């Protein structure tokens, strides 16, 4: 059979920053921002729990909620996100728990990482690989991703709270964060 | 209560337009302007189709090998530079004319469809189309396209019987070319870059149809949406095609009530808590359109009545769902939740066979807003060169 030359039909961005970005370091005195959405109540509960621990460790915590990403509201959202990123040192970005919300979680996490903020994206188990794939395609293959169990949003508050407790130490590890002895005691 | 109204933004894609020579025809040229990687493959459709799957290029259907000669042939019959950047796709990959033509060759799309494909890609790359979410989602959503103008007949784009699928026409290859671009350039690959739980047949061959303007009592869709007279394409996101049967109604209001109530169901994406608004595209068959227009002369009247019917009582939703909708201010003073924020968000067009009796529901993803683009008229490069 004769050989021919064919042209590659694919295109993909070639640049990549494999760095995970800066470590979060000691939490005391840091400004920590949680990126929320409006679909996953479990993520609201977990972020509340983690935020309380971080406040107890001496951090200042703020929240930014992603809503609509098209039209004038989308335009305003982008501006609001950029303004918020300028006010924080550490970003905890979630929740990658579906297709489009993983997409927007990773997109916003990359925006945070590219702004020089110590950033960790939060994904549930079934969207972990997808989160890494999108991070690589977004030019940040080294993006930090902390993984929670799946399914999660289907659970009650009483079932989700222990998950928040159990996965906090893992969050600190992934984000390169640390607590002083006093903070741990608190 | 604060209903989130759909207000298109001023954001536009700002892809730079680079220029090179157009001296390349089917026979090639001294300087090689095609920059894509060349790969050795067997000169056989079956072998190449298998090869394309190994490479991650294919969709499983037979593909035509995109050789230099075939790619140059399409370029020579148009008036585009191969390295012209048409759009940046969700991961910032560059969708150039060259990549579009390579995928068009593989799908078997005719050369004179290039400007339509380019306009379609430009439309879905607009920020308000929100291709980022459309690509990634667990939903089965895909871009659909409605074509207006004489190009419908020139390219045999169906707008009567079977317009949403099944007509034997090379327009199917155009739809498939767009799908291959979605896969190979925009990165919509199931299980890799899209988490679609079930997918859809529309993710293989696409959905490309025309509006039957000659049978429509209203102005063509592109003219109503964007003031474009002539060749244009409207891109919209759709979860699939939904059929609405009505063999019983009599009169405009009855038909519209049936359509409105049918497209409005609790599990539709327009009621997703992840997005506070949606559009709804509906194809109305020519017989029904004629009946409606006799009672309701303006399309705005039709949209208003349809919109009023496309709503569900809030208490149809379970508490957790209802709470989220209430938190978003979507439960109105009449106790109902509407499929779209305003009547204008019901996107109506006329299509389908003269058998009538059915309407075509095309539910949007939500945040993805329909985009209408003019289709440029191509002048073959050979004619341009002759003139120069």
Q: Give the pLDDT score at B79.
A: 87
User: Which value, in Å, is the radius of gyration of the alpha carbons in chain A?
Assistant: 18
Phi and psi torsions of B133, nearest 5°: -75, -40
- Say whether B133 and A72 touch across the interface (CB within 8 A): no
Closest partner residue to B95 (CB to CB) among A11, A37, A130 is A11
d(CA B9, CA A153): 32
Q: Looking at residue A57, which CATH number applies to its domain?
A: 3.40.50
Question: Is residue A144 one of the residues assigned to a domain?
Answer: yes
Per the structure, the count of domains in chain A is 1
Question: Is residue A102 one of the residues assigned to a domain?
Answer: yes
pLDDT, one tens digit per residue, over B296-346 is 989 999 999 999 999 999 999 999 999 999 999 999 999 999 999 999 999
Cβ proximity of B202 and B238 under 8 Å: yes
HSE, CB side, 13 Å, CA atoms: give it for residue B363.
24
**Structural domain that includes position A135:** 32-175
**Which one, of A135, A82, A63, lies nearest residue A106 by Cα?**
A135
Residue B30 has pLDDT above 60, yes or no: no
Residue B19 has pLDDT above 60, yes or no: no
Residue B240 has pLDDT above 90, yes or no: yes
d(CA B38, CA B362): 40
Q: What is the overall mean pLDDT for chain A?
A: 95
**Which one, of B269, B343, B360, lies nearest residue B306 by Cα?**
B343
Cβ proximity of B383 and B148 under 8 Å: no
* Secondary structure (DSSP) of B139-194: S--EEEEEEESTHHHHTT---STTTTTT--STHHHHHHHHHHHHHHTS---BTTTB
Cα A106 from chain centre: 7
Question: Is residue A143 one of the residues assigned to a domain?
Answer: yes
Question: Which pLDDT band holds residue A178 (cuts at 50, 70, 90)?
Answer: confident
Residue B17 has pLDDT above 60, yes or no: no
- Say whether B57 and A2 touch across the interface (CB within 8 A): no
Distance to chain A for B185, nearest Cα, Å: 5
d(CA B175, CA B107): 9
Give ipTM to 2 decimals.
0.92
CB contact, 8 Å: B103 with chain A? Answer: yes
B7 or A23, higher pLDDT: A23
Q: Give the pLDDT score at B193.
A: 86
Identify all chain A residues contacting B15, using CB atoms and an 8 Å cutoff: none
Residue B4 has pLDDT above 90, yes or no: no
Q: Give the pLDDT score at A183.
A: 66
- Output the pTM of the full model: 0.94
Longest dimension (CA), chain B: 71
Among A6-15, A157-166, B102-111, the minimum mean pLDDT is found in: A6-15
Q: Give the pLDDT score at A92.
A: 98
Question: Which pLDDT band holds residue B26 (cuts at 50, 70, 90)?
Answer: low
Identify all chain B residues contacting A7, using CB atoms and an 8 Å cutoff: 34, 36-39, 66-68, 71, 98, 102
pLDDT, one tens digit per residue, over A69-101 is 999 999 999 999 999 999 999 999 999 999 999
Mean pLDDT confidence for B4-30 = 67
Distance to chain A for B162, nearest Cα, Å: 31
- Say whether A98 and B274 touch across the interface (CB within 8 A): yes
Question: Is residue A156 one of the residues assigned to a domain?
Answer: yes
Mean pLDDT confidence for B229-252 = 97
DSSP B231: S
Identify all chain A residues contacting B103, using CB atoms and an 8 Å cutoff: 9
DSSP B196: -
Question: Is residue A8 one of the residues assigned to a domain?
Answer: no
Q: Give the pLDDT score at B31.
A: 61
């Amino acid at each position: 059979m004769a050989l021919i030359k064919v042209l590659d039909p694919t295109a993909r961005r070639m640049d990549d920053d494999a760095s995970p970005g800066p470590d979060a370091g000691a939490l005391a005195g840091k400004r920590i921002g949680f990126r929320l959405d409006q679909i996953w109540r479990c993520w609201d509960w977990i972020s509340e729990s983690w935020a309380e621990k971080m406040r107890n460790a001496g951090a200042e915590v703020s929240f930014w909620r992603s809503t609509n990403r098209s039209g004038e509201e989308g335009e305003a959202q982008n501006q609001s996100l950029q303004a918020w990123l300028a006010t924080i040192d550490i970003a905890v970005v979630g929740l990658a728990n579906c297709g489009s919300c993983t997409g927007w979680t990773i997109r916003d996490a990359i925006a945070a990482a590219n702004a020089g903020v110590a950033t960790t994206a939060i994904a549930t188990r079934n969207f972990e690989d997808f989160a890494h794939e999108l991070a690589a395609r977004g030019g940040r293959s080294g993006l930090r991703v902390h993984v929670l169990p799946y399914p999660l949003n289907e659970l009650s508050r009483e079932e989700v709270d222990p998950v928040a407790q159990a996965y906090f130490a893992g969050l600190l590890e992934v984000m390169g964060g640390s607590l002083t002895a006093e903070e741990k005691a608190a | 209560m604060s209903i989130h109204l759909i207000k298109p933004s001023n954001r536009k894609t700002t892809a730079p337009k680079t220029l090179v020579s157009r001296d390349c025809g089917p026979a090639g040229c001294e300087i090689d302007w095609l920059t894509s990687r060349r790969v050795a493959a067997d000169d056989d459709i079956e072998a190449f189709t298998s090869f394309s799957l190994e490479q991650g290029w294919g969709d499983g259907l037979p593909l035509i090998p995109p050789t230099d000669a075939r790619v140059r042939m399409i370029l020579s019959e148009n008036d585009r530079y191969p390295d012209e950047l048409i759009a940046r796709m969700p991961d910032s990959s560059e969708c150039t004319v060259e990549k579009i033509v390579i995928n068009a060759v593989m799908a078997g799309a005719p050369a004179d469809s290039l400007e339509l494909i380019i306009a379609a890609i430009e439309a879905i790359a607009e920020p308000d189309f929100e291709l980022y979410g459309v690509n990634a989602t667990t939903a089965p959503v895909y871009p659909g396209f409605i074509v207006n103008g004489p190009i419908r007949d020139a390219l045999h784009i169906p707008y009567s019987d079977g317009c949403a699928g099944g007509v034997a026409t090379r327009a199917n290859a155009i739809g498939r070319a767009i799908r291959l671009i979605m896969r190979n350039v925009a990165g919509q690959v199931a299980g890799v870059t899209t988490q679609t739980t079930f997918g859809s047949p529309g993710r293989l061959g696409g959905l490309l149809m025309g509006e039957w303007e000659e049978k429509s009592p209203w102005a063509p869709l592109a003219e109503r949406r964007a003031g474009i007279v002539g060749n244009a394409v409207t891109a919209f996101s759709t979860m699939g095609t939904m059929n609405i049967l009505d063999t019983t109604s009599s009169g405009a209001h009855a038909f519209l009530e049936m359509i409105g109530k049918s497209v409005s169901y609790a599990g539709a994406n327009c009621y997703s808590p992840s997005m506070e608004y949606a559009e709804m595209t509906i194809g109305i068959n020519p017989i029904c359109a004629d009946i409606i227009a006799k009672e309701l002369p303006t399309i705005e009247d039709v949209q208003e009545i349809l919109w009023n019917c496309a709503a569900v009582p809030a208490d149809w939703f379970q508490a957790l769902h209802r709470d989220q909708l209430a938190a978003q201010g979507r439960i109105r003073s009449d106790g109902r939740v509407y499929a779209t924020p305003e009547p204008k968000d019901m996107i109506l067009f006329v299509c389908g066979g003269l058998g009538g009796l059915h309407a075509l529901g095309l539910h949007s993803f939500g945040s993805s807003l329909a985009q209408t683009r003019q289709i440029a008229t191509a002048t073959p490069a050979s004619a341009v060169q002759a003139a120069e």
